Amino acid sequence: MTLGPLMLDIEGTELTAEDRELIAHPTVGGIILFTRNYESPEQVTQLVDDIHALRDPHVLVAVDQEGGRVQRFRDGFTRLPPLSCLGALYGTDKTRAKHLAQTMGWLMAAEVRALGVDLSFAPVLDLDYGVSKIIGDRALHQRPESVAELAHAYQTGMHEAGMAATGKHFPGHGAVAADSHLDLPIDPRPYEDIAQWDMVPFERMIHYGLAAVMMAHIVYSEVDANPAGFSRYWVKAVLRDTLGFQGLVFSDDLSMEGAAVAGDHVARAGLSLEAGCDMVLVCNDRDNAVAVAESLEGYSNPVSHTRIARMHGHAAPGLDELRQNPRWVQAVAAVQRCEAEPELDLDL
C-alpha cells in the first residue's frame, strides 16, 4: 500500500479505535504529534511503534522540535535553545557557529529518531526582519547568506542522525507581522525583492540536498492572488521550475486562518494538491480531517508517493543507547552553553 497525501493528528497519548481506523485509510500518509501526545520517551516510543505497525510501508510520524518556543518533547529531552542563538554566535565566530549548528541539528534529530519519529519540521529558513512575532527567534539570522550557511550545517547534523530536513516557510514568512495561524498575512513586496532576499536560503539549501519544503500561508500580493501554498505559480513555476526543487512539498496546516481564503477544508486540500503540494496537513480538527480523507479517495500521484516514502527516518539507536554515546554528552553540554530566553511553547 502506498502512502496517501494527508497528514493529520491524534488527540491523546495512545491510539483510540477511531485513530487506528483513520490511520489505516489509504489517503492518510502521516501523523504529526503535539505536546498533548507526549508524557515520556517510553510512552511516545510505544505510540510511534503502534502507529508504524498499522501500515506497510509505515505512515510518516512527524513533530515540530525546533527548540526554543517550539519544542513538543521536553521532559526527558535536552532543552533546545531557539535557532537565533546560532545567528548571534555567527556574528562573532562563524566557524564555531556552524559547528554548533551541526551539533544542534544532530542532537535534535538523534533524540527524536531515538523514539522512532521520522522527521521534525526543521530548520526554519525565514529571515529575521524584526517584524514577525510568530517567527522571531525561530529564525537563524537576518541575512540570507548567513541563514543558508547555518542551515546547511544544521541539515548536515540531521542527516548524520538519520533524518531528512524540511525548510520552512517558502518563499519566506519573516517580512510580515501578521501570524498566519490567526490571520491571512499580505506581503506587498515585488518578486525581485523576495527572490533576492527570502528565497536565497531555500535556493542554496536545494543545492545542498534539501529533502522537503513547507509552504507559507501568505499572499504575496504583487506576485499572485493566492497564498503560496495554493499557488501553482509559487509551487510549480518558482519552486519546481526556477529553483529546480525535486523533493517533497508540504502544505502548512490547512486549519490555520491563513488557509481559510481557499474555502472549506476539502477545498483547501484539493487546491493545495492541485497547486503542486505532495502532502497536506490538517491539524486539531478531526471532523475536517475525516472529510478531507474521504474526499481524496481515488487520488493518486506516483511521484508524490515516492517523495513521501523518502522521508522515512533511517536506522537509529534508542534513547538509552544514545545517552551512552560520547557525542551525545558533548552535544548536550555544547547546546546548554548557547543562551536562550525562556518563553512559552507554541503548540500551534
- Residue range 43-71, pLDDT digits in tens: 999 999 999 999 999 999 999 999 999 99
Distance CA 195, CA 3 (A): 33
Distance CA 212, CA 120 (A): 11
Q: What pLDDT score does 340 carry?
A: 47
Relative to beta strand 212-215, strand 166-170 is parallel
- pLDDT tens-digit series, residues 6-25: 999 999 999 999 999 999 99
Mean pLDDT by groups of 10 residues along the chain of 348 residues = 95 97 97 97 98 97 96 94 95 96 98 98 97 93 98 98 98 92 93 98 98 97 97 98 98 93 96 98 97 96 96 96 97 82 43
Evaluate whether 122 touches 161 at the Cβ level (below 8 Å): no
Q: What pLDDT score does 338 carry?
A: 78
The domain segmentation of the chain, as residue ranges, is: 6-336
Q: What pLDDT score does 106 carry?
A: 98
Q: What pLDDT score does 209 carry?
A: 98
Q: What pLDDT score does 180 carry?
A: 84
Write out the DSSP string of 290-314.
HHHHHHTTT---HHHHHHHHTTSPP
DSSP annotation of 242:
I
Q: How many CB atoms lie within 10 A of CB 14?
A: 13
Distance CA 297, CA 271 (A): 15
Instruction: Give the distance, in angstroms, between the CA of residue 227 and the centroid of all CA atoms in the same chain.
Output: 18
Evaluate whether 54 touches 31 at the Cβ level (below 8 Å): no
Give the catalytic positions in this structure: 181, 252
DSSP annotation of 20:
H
Cell numbers given for 287: 471532523
Q: What pLDDT score does 258 carry?
A: 87
Q: In CATH, which superfamily holds the domain spanning 6-336?
A: Glycoside hydrolase, family 3, N-terminal domain (3.20.20.300)
Distance CA 151, CA 149 (A): 6
